[in-house]
Structure 1
Amino acid sequence: MTSGSPTSGVGRVIAGRYLLLHRLGVGGMSHVWLAHDQRLACEVALKEIVLRDSGETAQERAARVSRARARARHAAGLRGHPHVVTVHDVLEHDGLPWIVMEYVAGAVDLRDLVARRGPLAPAECARVGLAVLDALTAGHERGITHRDVNPANVLLAPDRTGAPYGRILLTGHGISVQPDTGEARHTTSAPTGTAGCAAPERIIGGPPGPAADLFSLGCTLYHGVEGHGPFDRESPLAQITAVVAEEPRPAVRAGALEPVLRALLAKDPTRRMTATAAGAALARIVTPQAGGRPPTRNELGPRPRWTEASALPPVATASSAAPAPPPVPGRPLSHALRAAASTGLGLLLALGAVWYALAERTADAEAAPYGRAVGLAAPLRTGDCVVADWPGAARFSGTPRLSLDPTCRDGAPDGQVMAFAEAASANEARATGPARCEELTRETRARLADVRSYAVVPTSAGFVPAEGRAACLVLGAHGPVYGPLAGHRRPGAAFTDTATMQKRDCLDVRSDRDVRLASCASRHDEQVLGFTRLAAGLTLAQARTRSDTACAREVPPADYGFDPSVYEADSWTGEGAWKSATHLVVCTVRKQNGGTMEGDEP
Structure 2
Amino acid sequence: MPSGSPTSGVGRVIAGRYLLLNRLGSGGMGHVWLAHDQRLACEVALKEIVFRDPEPAGEEREARVARARAEARHAAGLRGHPHVVTVHDVLEHDGLPWIVMEYVEGAVDLKELVEQRGPLAPAECARIGLAVLDALTAGHQRGVMHRDVKPANILLAPDRTGAPYGRILLTDYGISVQPDAGETRYTLASVLVGTSGYLAPERATGGSPTPAADLFSLGCTLYYGVEGRGPFERESNLAEVTAVVMEEPRPAVRAGALGPVLRSLLAKNPEGRPSVIEAEAALSRIVTPQADSYARTQTDLGSQPPWAAAAPAPSPPAPVPPAPVPDGFGPVVVRSPAHRRRELPRALRAALAASLGLLLALGGVWYATAHQDSGGGAEAKPYGSAVGLAKPLKDGDCVLADWPDSARFQGTPRLRPTACGDAPDGQVMAFAQAASADEARELGAGRCEERTQEVRERLADVRSVAIVPSGDGFEAAGRRTACLVLGAHGPVYGPLGAHRKSGTAFTDTANMQRRDCLQARTNRDARLVSCAGPHDEQVLGFTRLGKDVTLPQARTESDAACAKDVPPRDYGFDPSVYTSGSWTSAGSWKSGTHFVVCTVRKQNGGTMEGEES
Q: TM-score, normalised by structure 1?
A: 0.46
